[in-house]
Amino acid sequence: MSQPQISRFRDTLGVNIAKWINVRTQGAVKATFLEAATSDDDDPRADEYRRLSASKRDLKPLEFRKAQDMSFYLWQRNPIARRMIAILVEFCTGDEFKIEVKIQSKDAQKKWSDVEGRLDAQEVWDEFSEDPINRFIQDLPLFIQDFLINGELPLMMFPNLTVNPAEPGTVSGDGHVRMGYCDPSNITQVIPELFDVRQIKIIMVRGQGDANETPLTAVRPNIDRSSDRYGMLEGQVLFFRLNHVVNQTRGHGHLLDTADWLDALDQFLFDALEGIRLRNSFFYDATIDDADEEKIKEIAKELTVPASGALRVHNQKVKYDVVTPDLKAQDIERAMLAYQTFIVGAKGYPVMWFGSGADTNKATAGEMAIPTMKMIRSMQSEIRKVIEQVVKYVTDQARIAGVLKLADNEKIDVRVSMFDPEKKGTEDMAMGFNQMVVGLAAAVREGWISPETAKRVIDGMLTRIGVAVDPNETVQDLQDELAAAQADKAANDMYNTPPQPGNTDPNAPPDEQNPDGKQPGKRGAKGNPFTASYMRRLSRDAHRMIDEARK
């Protein structure tokens, strides 16, 4: 039986079954078979069906591919769409981007702190990211860009691990990971767990021209508590999604919801440019009074377009005018701004970021930027999750291979630093920091907060402005360092006089009597050495030196 015959038979069978169901249920149930998936990969109508394992919230395969193609088309040809993607990429990468991989241990108080001298986790990550095939840091802007355009980021993982068939559970290899990028347009199906659709189980891919699909295991944590690999990531492909609800298996690009509006703005601008071209055109109009059609045709043959500065002589029955079209297009700019404001505002961007800041000042710009900063922070959080998963997979493979070893009370801590969208200028930060320190000092002095709490607040502020703070440093450590510095300063202070021999003269002034030989004017560690008697003695010595010099 040929393929067209199979298709006709399937359609006829489906229609007959649907009629039978309607008759048996007296119309209470209406059967629809368009949702069912065909098992024939060469069915020309396969794109019209939704697979049985797919969520009803997902677009049909043909519609999904069209959405991806449209997003790429807009990014490639629409300046506003391209700028919206570029802004997010720039905020998620740049000069301040840094990935640190630390090893932390948990103490008796169940507090995590960095293990000093443990650089092996960072070395494993550096070896992966600097691999000439992986080029992770170098290609990260491209990954983020494609992630925003397509709404999906499939990263293939190839660890250098070989299972020993003679000894199940044992592997050989150094665990070094090579990474590849899978084109989202090659993904034909995403299969989740039946009872937890959040967990992606299998990803079906098919290359261009391939007839068969290839199943790939999604990377997930090992949930076998009896395994020594419990909690470690295992699988073939790390699959990330954007803009989806819980029971959607596919992600959607950043431009999808505004695609129609961006296309409409394109058409509007092209029409506006065509109108401007027409408004710039003109023509000459000649009016001839008391002339019949034959006379007008005769005069028209003799008329020519006048050159610049030419002289034309005529009587009162002939009138020459230059006419331009009046298209009433004075509202084009206002309409274009309304289009643009709607599009960029719907995505959370201020319109001033797209060249329309005529009605914006510093005060309004600062207020309008707040929702944008929250949106950018949310996107940074998504990218941070992607990087953390990649780092965890790389370090887990090193642990499986035995290259990286952790104790039971140790863990990997990933720190991804990005540009802070809410970072203020140096002057504003200095003023705010000074006010915060004064307020914290007053709160500690009144007993409202502890010195340790005040230090945590200050450490958080310093970290936010990019200053590295030792997390293991305590208030007592700082006080000990301060006391040692003060003692060293006092010992080398030239204004503090050394201990003097005891003065037991009963006729000496009371404040100059020093029977114990103590340092004059010293009132403990916080005393003031510049007492009245000390200053008088300095004055007498100075006057005596002056008198001797005069003699």
Please indicate, yes or no, if residue 360 is contained in any of the structural domains: yes
Please indicate, yes or no, if residue 41 is contained in any of the structural domains: yes
Please indicate, yes or no, if residue 353 is contained in any of the structural domains: yes
Cβ pair 235, 203 in contact under 8 A: no
Half-sphere exposure of residue 200: CA atoms within 13 angstroms, side-chain side:
24
Last residue of a domain, one of 364, 383, 401: 364
Please indicate, yes or no, if residue 44 is contained in any of the structural domains: yes
**In this predicted model, what pLDDT tens digit does every residue of 245-287 receive, in sequence order?**
998 899 999 998 888 888 888 888 888 777 777 666 767 777 8
Answering whether pTM is above 0.85, one says no
Please indicate, yes or no, if residue 346 is contained in any of the structural domains: yes
Cα distance between residue 76 and residue 89, in whole Å: 15
Cβ pair 189, 214 in contact under 8 A: no
Last residue of a domain, one of 11, 28, 48: 48
Name residues whose C-beta falls within 8 Å of residue 381's C-beta, 6 or more positions apart in sequence: none
Please indicate, yes or no, if residue 9 is contained in any of the structural domains: yes
Q: For position 87, what pLDDT does the model report?
A: 92
Q: In terms of residue numbers, what domain contains 27?
A: 3-48
**In this predicted model, what pLDDT tens digit does every residue of 6-58 receive, in sequence order?**
455 455 545 555 555 555 555 555 544 444 444 444 555 555 555 555 567 77
Cβ pair 157, 396 in contact under 8 A: no
Last residue of a domain, one of 491, 515, 537: 491
Please indicate, yes or no, if residue 517 is contained in any of the structural domains: no
- 3-class state of residue 258 by DSSP: helix
- Return the structure tokens found at 371: 């929702």
**In this predicted model, what pLDDT tens digit does every residue of 448-465 receive, in sequence order?**
888 888 888 888 877 766
- Return the structure tokens found at 192: 């989740």
Q: What is the mean pLDDT of the chain?
A: 78
Name residues whose C-beta falls within 8 Å of residue 129's C-beta, 6 or more positions apart in sequence: 99, 136, 137
Cβ pair 53, 327 in contact under 8 A: no
Please give the share of the chain, as a percent, with pLDDT higher than 90.
28
- Round to the nearest angstrom and report the end-to-end CA distance of the chain: 135
Q: For position 25, what pLDDT does the model report?
A: 57
- 3-class state of residue 219 by DSSP: coil
Please indicate, yes or no, if residue 399 is contained in any of the structural domains: no
How deeply is 545 buried, as exposed, middle or buried, from its count of CB atoms within 10 A (0-12, 13-18, 19+)?
Answer: exposed
Cα distance between residue 510 and residue 442, in whole Å: 39
How many domains does the chain fold into?
A: 3
Cα distance between residue 64 and residue 150, in whole Å: 10
